[in-house]
Structure 1
């Protein structure tokens, strides 16, 4: 971690994410498989046995010796004796001998002697106890090997990737009932400002605003797999903020200070962080719009993120910077992909080189229309279907340009 940087010596976002690597990681706990959706395995989960564990049919048809079907066709079918039927849920009692077959349903175990399954669509029953095969099969056709899904000792789920519904299905198939995962990151959310009042305040005095940002941040934290820990509203007072941050750092895995990083409050926020023991400020200023006055710091290994005061800026920065830090702390090495769609811009976008611009857009019939307004307006986010990023090197995008829209779920 580097020493304090000059405020608004704006750091590129990519450089900040690459360089800001807090030491904090959440602890390890055991969870039941059915409670593990979205949890992050601490190490690869492996199978103690091959899956499916036995060779089985992938189609309805007849278990055969492939050699008995060679040369079969509509004009000259192969005739095989039908010895019986394979039952589901048990190993076959009969085996397949040369010139014979066993009727078999999808998923049933392959009998001894058989090395392929011919689909029922390529057979005809013309007399009792026999079947005509009108298509040849190769060895292995219509069969899943005993270890084709997962080999014994093979990985069921990798470390560092949140478990998905399909992962839980594979764990269930392997008989895994419990596993070690990272604890959910606890995120302390601190709101600051003399003008900020609780969100349940019914009547506002002149100059007051309800704490809307904290509710949205809590929802983002929850969706990302964290546990929000709202610490209330702190007035614009360095000593009070230092006290609150001291308590938050001692108990949380990530501390987010909302509305304490605007131009008017930057000195108090930075001073409050630096007043804590073992603290360092990585940067105070990101090359991003909206969200330039952003603070990244570390206190005793715990990351501290100071967000801009305006709600839209705060939420944009938390998506772009806060969520990657949250995932890092929570042990996520393979972040889940965000939903995106290509679209064409309905109008040109101006930008400044060296700055990452995050532009809210609506999406209709494959066309992205930018929406603009003051960063204090939350309605811009609720109206938007997603956002477009104008990269740092660009000086803008032309109307009709093909862009990637990251969708809001």
Structure 2
């Protein structure tokens, strides 16, 4: 393969369905305090029933439900107050027929009781006597010992990133560490004689700082990966091939920023073909058509266009799901979205998926246009709109789904 012409461009749907490298990161033990958004290797199960004891969900009185049947404001039931349950302690009193026990929310249900009457429907008419004005059914105001989860039940499934509520559920069950996929290490290699490190204080004519690498590192980190900015490769024959070969053993995914197009200086396709297998070169997406996908020694590789806007848009569509998949998550968590009306017509070409940046104000999506070399287009955007492949555009006023940036 010469690297100077595109293969037949694949659709984004074909890429997501067909480019599915087998690589997954191995398992490691992770303390619960650092487990947010980590992906469990296997389903995490409860070591015991949760909450582990029958407890009250309201402040009130533990009763036998049958003793409240027929109670009303005009004809209340009168029950003997037998004692009270203290929080965090085993009850030292039982409920007998015609009696009740004072209950705090979360307290242990005493023996003999099968319901809790809310305090709002009671009154102490005289010392030691409780008036009940509403009937309750068995189980009212009570959480069973295994109602949250039974012993052996799933607390968190395999393959789904842990969310904040999951951490609380695991903590309640006494799970202090989990077996999770290691975070994927993603090497980001920049290319081009004109590219200099971001820390370069003063640029000479023709130089640009490696801005795409920093932005790509942010996308990798947001997807649960560990970005590794692996330097800048000059436009010299063999240089990119050598650098990719160097980073492969330490990487779960390699991203080559720039060099995937078909210009005289674009070396990604040739370099990758020499050490791996190119899966496709060209995706029917705008911006980002010159994207290259490959595998090298079992490590997936993405070759991105040089223009920052194109690189970041296509990495969000292809690279981010791939980072999640390598980390053991087959269905990446969805980004937030909102519905809005287009402020103007959007033109598109049939057979190509367009990703259009938009600003959203008061329910209106205003497209933001600009050359693919400008990062300001993305920096000004609140999210993006997809114009699907079959469409030839969208009319002003069309209600669209806007995927929002976090």
How does the TM-score come out when normalised to structure 2? Answer: 0.97
Q: Deviations over 1:286-331 (max 9, x none)?
A: 0000000000001121100000110000000110000011111111
Determine the C-alpha separation between the residues in 1 that align with 2:129 and 2:4.
Answer: 84
1:106-145 correspondence to structure 2 within 5 Å: 106-145=105-144
Q: Say if 2:325 and 2:332, in contact at 8 Å, map to a contact too.
A: no
Residue 285 of structure 1: aligned partner:
282
Distance 1:18 1:296, change over 3 A: same
Residue 303 in structure 1 maps to residue 303 in structure 2? no
Determine the C-alpha separation between the residues in 2 that align with 1:263 and 1:15.
Answer: 22
Q: Say if 2:277 and 2:296, in contact at 8 Å, map to a contact too.
A: yes
Residue 202 of structure 1: aligned partner:
201
Moved more, 330-339 or 59-68: 330-339
Q: 1:32 deviation in Å?
A: 1.1
Structure 2 counterpart SS, 1:275: helix
Determine the C-alpha separation between the residues in 2 that align with 1:230 and 1:369.
Answer: 34
Q: 1:266 deviation in Å?
A: 7.6
Q: Deviations over 1:257-280 (max 9, x none)?
A: 00121231686211111111xx21
Q: 1:195 deviation in Å?
A: 1.2
Q: Say if 2:235 and 2:265, in contact at 8 Å, map to a contact too.
A: no
Determine the C-alpha separation between the residues in 2 that align with 1:334 and 1:191.
Answer: 29
Determine the C-alpha separation between the residues in 1 that align with 2:106 and 2:298.
Answer: 52
Q: Say if 2:310 and 2:372, in contact at 8 Å, map to a contact too.
A: yes
Moved more, 94-103 or 27-36: 27-36
Distance 1:5 1:167, change over 3 A: farther
Residue 387 in structure 1 maps to residue 347 in structure 2? no
Structure 2 counterpart SS, 1:238: coil
Determine the C-alpha separation between the residues in 2 that align with 1:274 and 1:112.
Answer: 74
Divergent runs of 4+, >3 A: none
Residue 80 of structure 1: aligned partner:
79
Pairing partner for 1:324 from 315, 321, 325:
321
Residue 338 of structure 1: aligned partner:
335
Moved more, 148-157 or 230-239: 230-239
Distance 1:5 1:141, change over 3 A: farther
After superposition, the CA RMSD in angstroms is 1.3
Residue 104 of structure 1: aligned partner:
103
Residue 45 of structure 1: aligned partner:
44
Determine the C-alpha separation between the residues in 1 that align with 2:355 and 2:117.
Answer: 57
Unpaired segments ≥5 residues, structure 1: none
Distance 1:5 1:70, change over 3 A: farther
Q: 1:5 deviation in Å?
A: 12
Unpaired segments ≥5 residues, structure 2: none
Residue 154 of structure 1: aligned partner:
153
